[in-house]
Amino acid sequence: MLAPGVVFTTLALFGTGVALLVAGPPSDTLKFAHKLSFIVWVALMTLHVLGHVLEVPALALPDWRRNGPPEARLAGAGARTMTLGLAILAGVALALLTYSAAGPWL
């Protein structure tokens, strides 16, 4: 039931963030919208994460098993690990590439 709110606030958060980069520091309306979307996003994501926190160990641990029979490790574990690593690298690269755009805000 939280999914539409999480998707909408994520889009609002990213959209207002990009709009702030384009508009620059003087935009108080955009800054307010960005802060508001962040607060609502954090609240919804907190509820979402807390709703799944008990399921995570049972779902995640089989991906990291090294011992035991091959069927103890879930299919696609390597692809999931590689995708996670690539997503982290892409995020770091994007942060480094756009760091100079933060100059007016610092």
**pTM tops 0.85, yes or no:** no
Res 82: pLDDT: 93
Residue 31 has pLDDT above 80, yes or no: yes
φ/ψ bin of 75: left (φ > 0), alpha (ψ from -120 to 50), beta (otherwise): beta
Residue 68 has pLDDT above 70, yes or no: no
Residue 20 has pLDDT above 90, yes or no: no
Distance CA 45, CA 4 (A): 12
In the three-class reduction of DSSP (H, G, I as helix; E, B as strand; rest coil), residue 76 is classed as: coil
Domain boundaries, the chain: 1-53, 55-106
